[in-house]
Amino acid sequence: VPEAVAAIIPAAGMGSRLSAAAPPGPPKALRLLAGRTILQRSVDVLADEVDLIVVAAPADRLERLHFHRPGVRIVVVGGGATRQESVRNALGALSESVTHVLVHDAARALVPGAVVRRVLAALRDGARCVVPVVAVPDSVRGVTADGGTAPLDRAAIRLVQTPQGFTVDALRRGHAAARTELATDDATLVEATGETVTLVDGDPLAFKITHPLDLLLAEAVLGR
């Protein structure tokens, strides 16, 4: 089967912001959320939409992680010290036949399939770099290191989610051209190489499980 569309799932983070106020547990993506791990939930959503999934997992957990879904090849590689390095490691495991790739934070475990399909539809329409976004509910201020602050127009701001979608060459070039290890998403790297970013509607359910309150929210959503 030609693996035309792949998904990379960076899942190697420790979840330090989640653990700060909670009892010590496994790395964030391997925490249980209503009976299934955060990572398993992200894999399950993407497995319905792509041909190949490459998970970048904590290096010391590799031999214990196995995923099986009919019709999808699922590969696990070791993650890196940064999200960016984890994605780069996963890029090295893509098959030659892959033309398009999604990159999805494992921590966005409740992402609706409809968001994934909107990103894929934009790629099918010819986009090379696709980002799902949502509006900002709060008022927003910009701050500077020297203590200055100024209001920002929230209507001009969007929050960036995943999965982000790319042609495989655009994503590879973005990572190859990166000059720091600090990128918190992939579109930032790809856009820096001159690519145009196409926005599609994200969804509040694609929120990133980051703080303890996010875990409670996810459990409540799943239990409702």
Helices (H), 2-82: 16-19, 38-47
Q: Rule CB under 6 A: is residue 21 a binding residue for ligand CTP?
A: no
Regarding beta strands 140-143 and 5-10, do their DSSP bridges make them parallel or antiparallel, or are they unpaired?
unpaired
In angstroms, give the least distance from the CB of 160 to ligand CTP: 12
- Residue 134, beta-bridge partner list: 159
Stretch that binds Mg ion, among 12-20, 40-48, 87-95, 216-224 (CB under 5 A): 12-20
Our CB check for Mg ion shows the closer of 19 and 40 to be: 19
In angstroms, give the least distance from the CB of 69 to ligand CTP: 19
The CA-atom distances, in angstroms, between 151 and each of 134, 139, 144 are 19, 8, 12
Measured CA to CA, the distance from residue 90 to residue 106 in angstroms comes to 13
* Paired tokens of 188: 């930032």
Write the binding mask 80 to 119 for ligand CTP: x where contact by CB under 6 A, - elsewhere: xxxx--x------------------xxx------------
Measured CA to CA, the distance from residue 88 to residue 80 in angstroms comes to 8
Unique residue bearing structure tokens 């497995």: 47
In angstroms, give the least distance from the CB of 153 to ligand CTP: 27
Q: What is the DSSP string of 43-64?
A: HHHHHTT-SEEEEEE-GGGGGG
Of 15, 16, 33, 18, the residue nearest 213 (C-alpha): 18
Write the binding mask 79 to 118 for Mg ion: x where contact by CB under 5 A, - elsewhere: ----------------------------------------
Answer for which of 17, 117, 154, 172 binds ligand CTP (CB under 6 A) is 17
CB atoms within 10 A of CB 147: 6
Measured CA to CA, the distance from residue 57 to residue 69 in angstroms comes to 18
**Which of Mg ion, ligand CTP, none interacts with 100 (beta carbon under 5 to 8 A by kind)?**
none
Our CB check for Mg ion shows the closer of 95 and 210 to be: 210
In angstroms, give the least distance from the CB of 57 to ligand CTP: 8
In angstroms, give the least distance from the CB of 105 to Mg ion: 9
**Which of ligand CTP, Mg ion, none interacts with 56 (beta carbon under 5 to 8 A by kind)?**
ligand CTP
Measured CA to CA, the distance from residue 215 to residue 80 in angstroms comes to 24
Q: Which residues bind ligand CTP (CB under 6 A)?
A: 10-18, 28-29, 56, 79-83, 86, 105-107, 208, 210
